[in-house]
A and B are shown apart, each in its own frame.
Chain A
């Protein structure tokens, strides 16, 4: 019975509990699949002046112009030149489309809620973007809060410095 109920639930919301994982350096991150529209290779980026460094500019996605954010730079990691593994994950959050530039896209994983633990309380900047840590076999995936990734100003950072 329990199985059946679970199955029904599954068919109702197939995106539930699925994460697209990608790599930055040696760490793996996951974002909820429901936010992801598509994955494309790196295109010509048009720089936009007066933007923070992590907003690399804008790209033309089949006639639609969307901004692209370098997630490495957003996490204060050093810039790495783009290569043929570099991908742009196009996400759509509350009707705002944006491309996330990542080192390489890995796979789509199902991580049940039971395998997700809250992040440890550390006063590190990055933790504000992480909603939980998913355990898959022996590996851990850092699950990102897309909303915060997009909209959170670096205020915590300033506060922690002050």
Chain B
């Protein structure tokens, strides 16, 4: 992209358009639920479509603009004429299909691909729909437009409701090469307007035209379907433009196009219609919009990379605070005033830290609401009746995490509808409500967020899972030795799929393992609970934030490790009589009548110089998702807030070390390895 539109505008465009598309989806689904398109909803969708169309046209993404324009026409008709017989479900499908297409195109653009999706097919269908709605007015026009469309879609789109405008542009004195700047503007204007004529007309070839523009300004006549607001926006974005005047030209006769129109335009002088210039009285439409967004005035959007950087800096701050207050030079000194100041410093750093964290926190609402759409599409396709219930959607999670849980959630929900929820007749036969329910629930538990996806479907079939696992060679232990949880966990293994038939939505056996790896990538875990005939629950446990955790530092030989405090149940010094060793050499310890396995960290990580005598060191009982066990270490060093850093890339590329979640810097500048209790055993 040239400097005419810089990167930030493009990013803003994506951001806005995605939000608008989501808004449209939401409104459409609401309307579908209500069984009717209320004027408010039509308005909302129309407004969003309109904005998308405008900004897409400005950005030269013409296929998006055309599609949005076609849909806008339909909604506009609905709003203005309030027809009585509207096929709501067809309308819903069309709008959703359209919004999907736009989503795909946006995604392509975001990845740096071209927006090459073909929108003509859906535009034809939308026009057709409109034609049926409005037989007297649009039948002829509709058909002719469709025909036209096949040849030149852009032409058809813009000629339908376009108006003639006149614009007078004055460039900055210092800009130079006015003729080329003017040509750029005219060229870009061509994207959203037809019949562009300008004076002086030889700007592209004649350099002396720059002088004319400098003295008299650049005058341009065009026809455009875009609104005043969009045109104002367009001109105000042009580079080196000092001022501009834009005015609407009343046309004597719209039917005689071409020459007559051109003459009309030339005759019209800008002051006929009282030219609305850029800085006087914004169009009414804009005012109305400002009213609505007043509440958002106190909100600014910040690039996530800046927040990431801020987070890093706060991390460094936490470390340097520890370096100062726990400085070895201070050992053994009694420094009352220093300690007082140090406490104050600590208080402030932890407040900053909390604040930065809270800035990064985003409620799950948007992610959860997306699921309405998934549920609707999948259940409709499969002929099932499914409702989605949301609980705790206001729960907040770190921005980085939220981005990575959307896909897994979608996947689990698709699976739940496809495999879990039964067909309506089966449900009635089983004495259940005809409509299945999927409940999406989020809640905070300590420093984690639990997300549960529950369905009231058939539940997991243990025998079939085992059978399938056996056939796919995934079963490595005798079935009777496995707990229910372990059997259910097998559905997350790569290459596992119980559905006999592969459907569009699920059943290929890829995906469930991707869910696990996605969730694990953000330090979370996944497990399933199920009851045959009553449904199954999938749980995600994800940390609130990735960056800073409360850790317990321990020493093993020369090495230092950090265990997340939340995983620790207790620590104690073992006595000889509690230690048990089974015939296979596995060590266990009896605590209050319960037996727990022991993991010797020095053996696990091959650390030299560690204590070997269990009674000389310390036991730390930790709880993972699947089990509770005891870690054996030399001693506890102390509790500290630690900044989680990933291991250097070189090391990660060499090998993924199981049992290590990352590393961190301690107060004395040394490095401690953070243990991953889920994968230590």
Contact = CB atoms under 8 A, between A and B. Distances in A.
B607 A47 contact: yes
A39 interface: no
Categorize the interface residue count of chain A.
20 to 34
Contact of A51 (B607, B654, B665): B654
Contacts of A47: 558-559, 607
B174 to A, nearest CB: 34
Contacts of A139: none
> Main SS of the interface on chain B?
mixed
Nearest to B319: A63
Interface stretch (B3-11, B460-468, B667-675): B667-675
A70 to B, nearest CB: 14
A78 interface: no
A51 B655 contact: yes
Looking at A50, A52, A59, A98, the one whose CB has the most chain B CB atoms below 10 A away is A50
B316 A63 contact: yes
A96 B663 contact: no
Contacts of A59: 671
Nearest to A95: B649
Contact of A46 (B649, B655, B663): B663
A46 B666 CA distance: 12
A160 interface: no
Contacts of A150: 650
A65 B671 contact: yes
Contacts of B657: 48-50
Interface string A14-58: 000000000000000000000000000000101111111001001
A48 B316 contact: no
B663 A65 contact: yes
A32 B669 CA distance: 31
Contacts of A73: none
Interface string B306-346: 00000000001001000000000000000000000000000
A34 B196 CA distance: 55
Contacts of B560: 46
B654 A65 contact: no
Contacts of A44: 670
Given A47-B607, A50-B657, A58-B663, A67 B558 contact: no
The 7 nearest A-B residue pairs measured at CB: A49-B605, A46-B671, A67-B648, A67-B650, A50-B657, A67-B651, A96-B650
Interface of B: 316, 319, 558-560, 604-607, 645, 647-651, 654-655, 657, 660, 663, 665, 669-673
30 contacts: A46-B559, A46-B560, A46-B670, A46-B671, A46-B672, A46-B673, A48-B651, A48-B660, A49-B604, A49-B605, A49-B657, A51-B651, A51-B654, A51-B655, A55-B651, A55-B654, A58-B648, A58-B651, A58-B663, A58-B671, A60-B671, A63-B316, A63-B665, A65-B645, A65-B647, A67-B648, A67-B650, A96-B649, A98-B648, A98-B650
